[in-house]
Amino acid sequence: AQSVTQPDIHITVSEGASLELRCNYSYGATPYLFWYVQSPGQGLQLLLKYFSGDTLVQGIKGFEAEFKRSQSSFNLRKPSVHWSDAAEYFCAVGAPGGYNKLIFGAGTRLAVHP
């Protein structure tokens, strides 16, 4: 069955600390991979995506993610977290081609301490 697992429901980090949010997926082939962020009262905003090629992907707001085929993972990282990064983060996968439905993980809620 196709699924996405985000093992951490809540994470708290101090401002300026590094961040890594984990994402593992189960899919028949290498899917398209996405990270979305939802800030309070906002819709889902795309942080970054991986379709093919370089397995280290750069996104907006200083985020990056690394695709590891052998581990079926697509972890999100940021070297120095800002208070404005407090939000909920969703990992998602979709069928290659990009037309089809996305399968989401349950989300990781990030809190940032000053």
Binding status of residue 36 toward another protein by CB under 8 A: yes
71 binds another protein, rule: CB under 8 A: no
Q: Which is nearer to another protein, 15 or 49 (CB)?
A: 49
Burial 36-61 (b: 16+ CB within 10 A, else e): bbeeeeeebeebbbbeeeeeebebee
Interface pick for another protein out of 23, 65, 90, 93 (rule CB under 8 A): 90
Which residue stretch of 15-23, 56-64, 66-74, 100-108 sits at the interface with another protein (rule: CB under 8 A)? 100-108
Q: Which residues on adjacent β-strands are paired with residue 33?
A: 50, 93
Contact 38, 51 (CB under 8 A): no
Q: Point out which residues bind another protein (CB under 8 A).
A: 4, 32, 34, 36, 41-46, 49, 51, 90, 92, 97-107
